[in-house]
Amino acid sequence: MSEQDTLFSKIIRREIPADIVYEDDMALAFKDINPQAPVHILVIPKKPIPRLADAVPEDHSLMGHLLLTAKRVAQEAGLENGYRVVINNGAEAGQTVFHLHLHILGGRQMQWPPG
């Protein structure tokens, strides 16, 4: 497994199963295996960018696409009362899988500040 070949690359390649809710040529969305809210979906780029901090200017439109995919997936999940989109960047932020992902969390009242 190369440094960039994480669990999420295996999900993209269908080498490990996931409950996939959306896919296109640039992005994939699937349910988190350990949900922290009634709806907890991860949106990832197919390009293996480890962290947000590793994104480069050429990723500009991909980054926009991920946010619009998050919006679409949240809408399709019925989160009309609100939802939270989270990116954990790096170990101190709690990132555990080093393939960029947006958490979409919803279906309950969120608190602020986050832990």
For the chain, how many helices (H) and strands (E)?
A: 2, 5
| 94 touches ligand 5GP by CB under 6 A | yes
Q: Does 53 bind ligand 5GP (CB under 6 A)?
A: no
Q: Cβ distance 4 to 48 under 8 Å?
A: yes
Task: For residues 28 and 49, give the distance between their C-alpha atoms in angstroms, rounded to a whole number.
Answer: 13
Residue 35 Cβ, how far from ligand 5GP at the closest point, in Å?
Answer: 8
Contact between 69 and ligand 5GP per CB under 6 A:
no
Should residue 97 be labelled a site residue for ligand 5GP when binding is judged by CB under 6 A?
A: yes
Which DSSP state fits 26? S
33 binds ligand 5GP, rule: CB under 6 A: yes
Near ligand 5GP by CB under 6 A, which window of 26-34, 53-61, 66-74, 77-85? 26-34
Q: Could you confirm whether 101 is annotated as catalytic? A: yes
Under 8 Å between Cβ of 18 and 6: no
Compute CA 82 distance to the chain's CA centroid, rounded to the nearest angstrom: 17
Catalytic residues: 101
